[in-house]
Structures are given as C-alpha cells and as structure tokens.
C-alpha cells in the first residue's frame, strides 16, 4: 500500500526515488558544478534544454528557487510582474518576489481554467510614465495547482507570448508540472515551453526524483541566472548525485504520468458519489483532485483528513472545508479505489461531534 503503509495523497512531492534512480545516483560521475565540471549535471541540463526547446538550462534546488532566479534575472528592483492571484509564485513562495527581489506583483484574478484573461493582462501593462513601476514580465503557471491542476494550452501560451513580445515584456512559466500538462493534452512539451522566455519544471514531484528543479531559457539568460543562483546560495558542488536521478526521471517517468491522471479520475469518481462532498472543479484535468465539504456536514476538512489518515489514507486540508488529494507513481488504481472507499466510509459513519475540538481529536 502506497508509501510507508499509507496511501499518501497529500502531494506528488512525496514520491521517493525509484530503484533505477538509486542505482544511477550511486554510480554517478561527479565533479564540482560551481566550476561547471560535473558531467552528470551538464548532461541533465543539456537534456532538459533540448526537451523543452530552449538553448540552455540550470539545475536549481527547488521550483521556488527556480522561479525566483528567473524573475531576478528578468527584472530590476522596483520592476513589476503580472501574476495571478492564485499563482504559486504569489501565494506559496514566502514573498521572495518582493522580499528578496524588490519586485512588485501586479495581481490579476486567475480564471477557473488557470489562465489570466488576455485583456486583463493587456490592461495591466503600465504606460511609460516615471510615476509607475516598469512592467517587466508576465508569469503563468502550468499546470495550475490552486485551480485544480488545470493545464494551459499551446494556443493560449502562444497568445500570451505574442502579447508579451509586442510590449517588450518577458514571459516566465512556472511549469512545476508542465509534463503533466503535456501528457494530458497529448502534445510535445516544447509546444508549452518554447514560446516562453524562461520556464521551470520540477524533478521532485510526479517525476519522482528526490530533489531539484530545472530552469530553461536562452544561453545568455542562463549565464546571468547562474549568478543569481549563486546569490541565493544555490551553488552546488558534486550535484551529479542529484542530477543522475533527474536524468532517469526524464527518461523513464514522463510518459507514465497518464497513469496518475487515470487514477485521479478513479478517485474523483468515487468522491463524487459521496453525499456531502463536491468536486471543485467538477473536471479533474491532471493528477489533482480538489473537493469541498458541504456546510451541512458536522465536521471540517482537517477532521475528515484526520479520520481518513486513521484508516490509512492521507490527504491535505487546504481550507476550512476544502481538501486536496494528489495521485503519483506510488498510488495505484487499487489505491485510488481504496482511498475513495475510505473517504466515503469516513463521511457516512461519522458520529456528530459535540464540539469542534472533539472532531479534531477523533
């Protein structure tokens, strides 16, 4: 069953290295990457750049670091970037955009499909006026976490890239799960990444590597980004032991993401049958299942997650009455079916607590 005796649906970051990754890590040829002399890192970066249709790439510690390095490279202090109100860059990255970079977020509402309205973007671009910050970049997220794992299409991405270039702006894509987006649409990932000036993707989510993300862009951009990575303390030494797992991830773990999407559908179908639970959004485009608890249910999201965990299924409460469940390579179809049954059992057999405290202590 899953990981460590649990069906763990809290995140696809909970994946652990596959046996092939562990073998590759143990046998990795290494050198000092700060000197550019780690052959395994160099190979991973070359593979990643080619895969996404860019000239060069840079291994970074995390997606958060990759996004910050990208925006520090594109922007000067006091510049402004256009970003969604539910974007990972804006919500979950500790305010690094402004706290470290001195960059202002110009926040627009994310649409239910994860997009930013193109007319909203155009209207948010500042005129050349010394009273205003300089609009420097647009940030998109693909797939979009808080919008239910929604994916952006090649057509939309190209449209925003065209708008950006027409106005002298840079387009950065937080592509933490961009391979999920490509697999879900049956398109080459280049169609989603190539139009952007920079793009990040995570090795350590659904691709199952233990750590690391990749930032891709032009050679000139990556040369400058390497200095920004150093500024943030991300100059790694014998990083080939990490990169080796990343190479296996790109070679072996991408195509199988469709299994995670299929298992998310199984889980979602089971949850949809439970009275008092509502899928939100109703469609599950990739590997994320979000659902809400009806206000009439006498318990909250944290209490339901605690009850499910006691029966072997871990999920993540992301609001008072909202829960996220994410499939990955350590969640099988049988696990998805079992998880749906456990959730249904936890809701149906709940004994109404006398207080919120009692619910949380159950």
- CATH assignment of the domain containing 108: 3.40.640.10
Whether residue 54 sits in one domain with residue 155: yes
Whether residue 325 sits in one domain with residue 242: no
Separate counts of helices (H) and strands (E) for the chain: 15, 13
Distance of alpha carbon 21 from alpha carbon 16, whole angstroms: 9
Whether residue 266 sits in one domain with residue 233: no
The encoded tokens of residue 173 equal 């894509």
For residue 115, tell me if it sits in a domain. yes
Whether residue 248 sits in one domain with residue 261: no
90, 83 contact by CB (below 8 A): yes
For residue 342, tell me if it sits in a domain. yes
Distance of alpha carbon 268 from alpha carbon 274, whole angstroms: 10
For residue 165, tell me if it sits in a domain. yes
Whether residue 266 sits in one domain with residue 135: no
Whether residue 213 sits in one domain with residue 114: yes
48, 37 contact by CB (below 8 A): no
Whether residue 238 sits in one domain with residue 277: no
Q: Based on the structure, what is the number of domains in the chain?
A: 2
Number of Cβ within a 10 Å radius of residue 39: 14
Distance of alpha carbon 116 from alpha carbon 94, whole angstroms: 22
For residue 207, tell me if it sits in a domain. yes
Distance of alpha carbon 291 from alpha carbon 312, whole angstroms: 19
Number of Cβ within a 10 Å radius of residue 151: 23
Residue ending a domain, choose from 206, 221, 252:
252
pLDDT tens for the chain, 362 residues: list them: 567 789 999 999 999 999 999 999 999 999 999 999 999 999 999 999 999 999 999 999 999 999 999 999 999 999 999 999 999 999 999 999 999 999 999 999 999 999 999 999 999 999 999 999 999 999 999 999 999 999 999 999 999 999 999 999 999 999 999 999 999 999 999 999 999 999 999 999 999 999 999 999 999 999 999 999 999 999 999 999 999 999 999 999 999 999 999 999 999 999 999 999 999 988 899 999 999 999 999 999 999 999 999 999 999 999 999 999 999 999 999 999 999 999 999 998 774 443 344 334 33
Whether residue 261 sits in one domain with residue 236: no
74, 198 contact by CB (below 8 A): yes
Beta-bridge partner residues of 326: 288
Number of Cβ within a 10 Å radius of residue 275: 10
Whether residue 217 sits in one domain with residue 347: no
For residue 2, tell me if it sits in a domain. no
**Residue 210, pLDDT score:** 97
Distance of alpha carbon 274 from alpha carbon 308, whole angstroms: 14
Residue ending a domain, choose from 206, 222, 252:
252
The encoded tokens of residue 20 equal 């092939």
Whether residue 244 sits in one domain with residue 117: yes
For residue 244, tell me if it sits in a domain. yes
Domain residues for 220? 19-252
Q: How many residues does the chain have?
A: 362
Distance of alpha carbon 298 from alpha carbon 300, whole angstroms: 7
150, 13 contact by CB (below 8 A): no
98, 105 contact by CB (below 8 A): yes
For residue 302, tell me if it sits in a domain. yes
136, 75 contact by CB (below 8 A): yes
Residue ending a domain, choose from 226, 252, 278:
252
The encoded tokens of residue 288 equal 């994320």
For residue 145, tell me if it sits in a domain. yes
**Residue 357, pLDDT score:** 41
**Residue 352, pLDDT score:** 47
Distance of alpha carbon 148 from alpha carbon 326, whole angstroms: 10
Whether residue 274 sits in one domain with residue 166: no
Return the residue matching tokens 């804006």: 90
123, 156 contact by CB (below 8 A): no
pTM: 0.94
Distance of alpha carbon 339 from alpha carbon 317, whole angstroms: 15
Whether residue 29 sits in one domain with residue 108: yes
**Residue 4, pLDDT score:** 75
CATH code of the domain containing 281: 3.90.1150.10
What angle separates helix 63-74 from helix 219-231, to the nearest 10 degrees?
Answer: 110
**Residues 90-112 as b or e (16 or more Cβ within 10 Å = b):** beebeebbeebbebbbebbebee
- H-helix segments, 28-100: 39-52, 63-74, 88-91, 96-99
**Residue 1, pLDDT score:** 59
């Amino acid at each position: 069953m899953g990981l460590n005796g649990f069906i763990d649906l809290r995140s696809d970051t909970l994946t652990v290295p596959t046996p092939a990754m562990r073998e590759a890590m143990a046998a990795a040829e290494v050198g000092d990457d700060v000197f550019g002399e780690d052959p395994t890192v160099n190979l991973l970066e070359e593979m990643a750049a080619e895969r996404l249709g860019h000239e060069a790439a840079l291994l970074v510690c995390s997606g958060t670091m990759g996004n910050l390095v990208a925006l520090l490279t594109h922007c000067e202090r006091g510049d402004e970037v256009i970003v969604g109100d539910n974007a990972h860059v804006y919500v979950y990255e500790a305010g690094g955009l402004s706290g470290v970079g001195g960059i202002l977020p110009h926040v627009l509402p994310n649409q239910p499909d994860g997009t930013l309205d193109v007319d909203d973007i155009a209207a948010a671009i500042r005129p050349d006026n010394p009273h205003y910050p300089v609009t420097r970049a647009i940030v998109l997220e693909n797939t979009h976490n808080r919008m239910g794992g929604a994916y952006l299409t090649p057509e939309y991405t190209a449209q925003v890239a065209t708008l950006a270039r027409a106005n002298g702006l840079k387009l950065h894509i937080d592509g933490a799960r961009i391979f999920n987006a490509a697999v879900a649409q049956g398109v080459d990932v280049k169609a989603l990444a190539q139009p952007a000036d920079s793009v990040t993707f995570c090795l350590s989510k659904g691709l199952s590597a233990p750590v690391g993300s990749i930032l891709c862009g032009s050679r000139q951009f990556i040369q400058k980004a390497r200095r920004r990575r150093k500024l943030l303390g991300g100059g790694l030494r014998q990083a080939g032991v990490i990169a080796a797992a990343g190479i296996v991830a790109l070679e072996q773990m991408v195509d199988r993401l469709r299994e995670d999407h299929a298992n998310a559908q199984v889980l979602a179908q089971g949850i949809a049958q439970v009275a008092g639970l509502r899928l939100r959004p109703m469609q599950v485009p990739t590997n994320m299942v979000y659902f809400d608890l009806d206000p009439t249910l006498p318990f909250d999201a944290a209490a339901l997650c605690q009850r499910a965990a006691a029966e072997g299924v871990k999920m993540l409460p992301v609001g008072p009455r909202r829960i996220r469940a994410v499939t990955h390579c350590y969640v099988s179809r049988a696990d998805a079916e079992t998880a749906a049954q456990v959730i249904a059992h936890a809701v149906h057999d709940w004994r109404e607590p006398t207080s919120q405290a009692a619910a949380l202590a159950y």
